[in-house]
Amino acid sequence: MAKPVSFHLKKELKNNFFDYLLLITAGIFFLILLNIFRGQRVIEFIVLVSFAFFYIIWGVYHHIINETFHLKTVIEYILIAFIIIFLLKIIILP
Amino acid sequence: MEKVKNFIHHLFIPHEENNFRAKSLHTDFLTVYLVIAFLMTMVFKQGNFRNVLGFATDISADKLYQLVNEQRQKNNLPSLVLNSSLSLAAQKKAENMFQENYWSHYSPDGKTPWDFILGTGYKYEYAGENLAKNFLFSNGVVDAWMNSTAGHRENILKKEYTEVGYAIVNGILNGEQTTLVVQLFGTPLAGSFVPKLVQAEEVSAPLQILAQKTFQPKINAFNLTFNFNVIFMAFLLLALALDFYFASKFNIIRIAGKNTAHFLFIIFILMGLFISTIGTII
**Greater pLDDT, B199 or B232:** B232
- Spell out the long-range contacts of B150-156 with Cβ–Cβ below 8 A and sequence spacing 24 or more: B150/B281, B150/B282, B152/B281, B155/B128, B155/B129, B155/B130, B155/B183, B155/B185, B156/B68, B156/B71, B156/B72, B156/B130
Look at residue A91 in the predicted model and tell me its pLDDT. Answer: 83
For chain A, what is the domain count? 1
Are β-strands B81-83 and B280-281 bridged in parallel, bridged antiparallel, or unpaired? unpaired
What are the Cα distances from residue B115, in Å, to B51, B89, B102, B107, B129? 29, 9, 16, 11, 12
Residue B14 Cα, gap to closest chain A Cα (Å): 15
Contact assessment for residue B254 and residue B247, using Cβ atoms and an 8 Å cutoff: yes
**Distance between CA B264 and CA A20 in Å, rounded?**
9
pLDDT for residue B106 is more than 90: yes
pLDDT tens for B14-54 read 998 888 999 999 999 999 999 999 998 888 766 555 544 44
Predicted confidence at residue B191, as pLDDT, reads 63
Residue of B251, B276, B281, B282 to mutate, testing the A interface (most A Cβ within 10 Å of its Cβ): B276
CB burial of A13-28 (b: ≥16 within 10 Å; e: otherwise) equals eeebeebbeebeebbe
What is d(CA B245, CA B88) in angstroms, rounded to the nearest whole number?
58
Residue B201 pLDDT > 50: no
pLDDT, residue B44, reads: 74
> How far B168 CA sits from the closest chain A CA (Å)?
15
Alpha-carbon distance of B14 to A88, in angstroms, equals: 29
pLDDT (mean) for B69-75: 95
Query: CA B184, CA B68: separation in Å to the nearest integer?
Result: 12
SS3 at position B16: helix
- Kindly provide the ipTM of the predicted complex, given to two decimals: 0.95
CB B69 within 8 A of CB B203: no
B215-262 pLDDT, tens digit per residue, is 444 456 777 888 888 999 999 999 999 999 999 888 888 888 899 999
Q: Which of residues 215-254 of B touch A (CB under 8 A)?
A: 222, 225-226, 229, 232-233, 236, 244-245, 248-251
Task: Considering only residues B254 and B69, tell me which one the structure prediction assigns the higher pLDDT.
Answer: B69
* B154 vs B133: CA distance, rounded Å: 19
Structure confidence at residue B48 (pLDDT): 54
Q: How would you classify residue B133: left for phi > 0, otherwise alpha for psi between -120 and 50, otherwise beta?
A: beta
Asked if A41 contacts B177 with a C-beta cutoff of 8 angstroms, the reply is yes
> What is the structure's pLDDT at B199?
40
B163-173 vs B81-83, strand pairing mode: parallel
pLDDT at B40: 86
pLDDT of residue B174: 81
Contacts of A65 in chain B (CB under 8 A): none
Per-residue model confidence as pLDDT tens digits over B76-101: 999 999 999 999 999 999 999 999 99
**What is the extent of the structural domain holding A34?**
5-92
Backbone φ and ψ for B163, nearest 5 degrees, come out as -135, 160
Summary mean pLDDT of chain B: 84
Q: What mean pLDDT is predicted for residues A66-84?
A: 94
A-chain residues within 8 Å CB-CB of B37? 82-83, 86-87
Question: Do B40 and A87 make contact, defined as CB atoms within 8 angstroms?
Answer: yes
| Whole-number percent of chain A with pLDDT over 90 | 70
Looking at B17-112, list the stretches that DSSP marks H as alpha helix, in order from N- to C-terminal side: 27-46, 61-74, 84-100
Which pLDDT band holds residue B134 (cuts at 50, 70, 90)?
confident
Q: Give the three-state DSSP class for B170.
A: strand
Contacts of B266 in chain A (CB under 8 A): 80, 84
Residues A76 and B27 sit within 8 Å (Cβ to Cβ)? yes
Q: Which residue has the higher pLDDT, B93 or B1?
A: B93
Q: What's the average model confidence in pLDDT over A37-66? A: 93
* CA atoms of B29 and A40, how far apart (whole Å): 33
DSSP B204: T
> Which of B76 and B193 is assigned the larger pLDDT?
B76
The pLDDT of B158-174, averaged and rounded, is 91
Tell me how far CA of residue B98 lies from CA of A7, A36, B22, B217, in angstroms: 57, 23, 50, 20
pLDDT value of position B278:
82
**pLDDT of res. B204:** 36
With contacts defined as CB-CB under 8 Å, which chain B residues touch A2?
Answer: 249-251
CB atoms within 10 A of CB A83: 24
User: Is-contact B282 B103, C-beta < 8 A?
Assistant: yes
